[in-house]
């Protein structure tokens, strides 16, 4: 069965420190992978999506970057965190179940507080 792992669940980081959030999926190959952010009181904002290894599309210019070093691994990074980077970060994947039916799964999310 398909599963998605995202960690850590919560994170408190000082301003100016680096960030690395990791997401891995199991039970599927060549998934589309996504990073979303939800700021306090706001909806989900698409940050990055990837349709394959090394293929990253950025939706919103910002202090963050994403990488996909392996088919089932998606990493969200920052070299220097800003206070405005605080929020709830969600990893997701979508693909075709059985090669036919579109399916989607979501990680549990990471609540990042930059202090």
Partner 1 sequence: AQSVTQLDSHVSVSEGTPVLLRCNYSSSYSPSLFWYVQHPNKGLQLLLKYTSAATLVKGINGFEAEFKKSETSFHLTKPSAHMSDAAEYFCVVSDYGGSQGNLIFGKGTKLSVKP
Q: If you compute the radius of gyration of the chain from its CA atoms, what whole number of angstroms results?
A: 14
Q: How many residues does the chain have?
A: 115
Closer to partner 1 by CB, 57 or 77: give it: 57
* Span 83-112, contacts to partner 1 by CB under 8 A: 90, 92, 94, 96-97, 101-104, 106-109, 111
Nearer to partner 1, 83 or 100 (CB): 100
* Choice between 65 and 106, CB closer to partner 1: 106
Tokens of 21: 């959030």
When the beta carbons of 16 and 52 are compared against partner 1, the nearer one is 52
Q: Tell me how far CA of residue 83 lies from CA of 66, 95, 97, 112, in angstroms.
A: 19, 34, 39, 10
CB of residue 94 to partner 1, shortest distance in Å: 4
Q: How far is the CB of 90 from partner 1 (least distance, A)?
A: 7
| Single residue of 34, 66, 76, 114 touching partner 1 by CB under 8 A | 34
b or e along 26-42 (b: 16 or more beta carbons within 10 Å of the residue's beta carbon)? eebeebbbbbbbeeeee
**Residue listed under structure tokens 């398909």:** 2
To partner 1, the closest distance from the beta carbon of 80 in angstroms equals: 26
């Amino acid at each position: 069965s398909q599963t998605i792992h995202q960690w850590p669940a919560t994170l408190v980081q000082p301003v100016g420190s680096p960030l690395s959030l990791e997401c891995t999926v199991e039970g599927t190959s060549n998934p589309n992978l996504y990073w979303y952010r939800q700021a306090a009181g706001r909806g989900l904002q698409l940050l990055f999506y990837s349709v394959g290894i090394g293929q990253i599309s950025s939706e919103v210019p910002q202090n963050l970057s994403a990488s996909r070093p392996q088919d089932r691994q998606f990493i969200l990074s920052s070299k220097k965190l800003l206070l405005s980077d605080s929020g709830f970060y969600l990893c997701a994947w979508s693909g075709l179940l059985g090669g036919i039916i579109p399916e989607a799964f979501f990680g549990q999310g990471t609540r990042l507080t930059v202090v």
